[in-house]
A and B are shown apart, each in its own frame.
Chain A
Amino acid sequence: MKHRFALSDEESQAQFQLVSKDLLEHNVKQGVNYWAGSPYPTMLLWAGRVYDFLRVMEEIVGFYPAHRQSYLVGYRSGTDGAAVSEVIETKGSKKAARTRLLASGTSITAGAGWGRCTIEYDEDSGKAIWEFPEGTAIGLAARLEGARTKPACPFIAGFVAGWTNRSLGVELEFEETKCVGRGDDCCLFESVAFLHAKKEYVE
Chain B
Amino acid sequence: MPVSASRAASISDPVHVVVVKAPQGIEERLREAMEPLRKVQGFVSAAVTRRDGLVIHHTFPSARAAAGLSAMAAAMVGASRAAGAELGIGLPTYGFIYFEDGILLIQDAGPQAILACLLELGANIGYVITRISRISDQVREALEDL
Contact = CB atoms under 8 A, between A and B. Distances in A.
Contacts of A198: 111
Given A59-B82, A126-B4, A172-B5, A65 B15 contact: no
A194 B54 CA distance: 11
A200 B137 CA distance: 20
A59 B133 CA distance: 28
Contacts of A158: 14
B38 interface: no
A193 B79 contact: no
B112 interface: yes
A45 interface: no
Interface string A130-159: 000000000000000000000000000010
B26 to A, nearest CB: 9
A67 B14 CA distance: 14
Given A197-B51, A197-B52, 18 more contacts: A60-B79, A64-B52, A65-B78, A72-B14, A76-B15, A124-B2, A125-B3, A125-B4, A127-B4, A171-B9, A173-B8, A173-B11, A192-B8, A193-B23, A194-B21, A197-B50, A198-B111, A203-B91
Interface in A22-70: 59-68
Interface of B: 1-5, 7-12, 14-15, 17, 20-23, 50-54, 71, 74-75, 77-79, 81-82, 91, 111-113, 146
Contacts of B22: 194
Contacts of B15: 72, 76
Interface of B is mostly: loop
A75 B82 contact: no
A76 B5 CA distance: 19
Interface string A162-181: 10010000111100000000
B78 A62 contact: yes
Contacts of B112: 196-197
9 contacts: A59-B82, A61-B78, A68-B53, A72-B14, A72-B17, A165-B11, A194-B7, A203-B91, A203-B111
Given A61-B79, A64-B53, A66-B78, A172 B4 contact: yes
Contacts of A67: 52
A170 B146 CA distance: 22
A76 B8 CA distance: 17
A91 interface: no
A165 B9 CA distance: 11
A54 to B, nearest CB: 13
B11 A161 contact: yes
Given A60-B79, A194-B22, A199 B5 contact: no
B4 to A, nearest CB: 5
A193 B53 contact: no
Contacts of B50: 64, 195, 197
A194 B79 contact: no
A200 to B, nearest CB: 9
A202 interface: yes
4 closest Cβ pairs, A-B complex: A126-B2, A62-B78, A61-B78, A68-B52
A59 B75 CA distance: 11
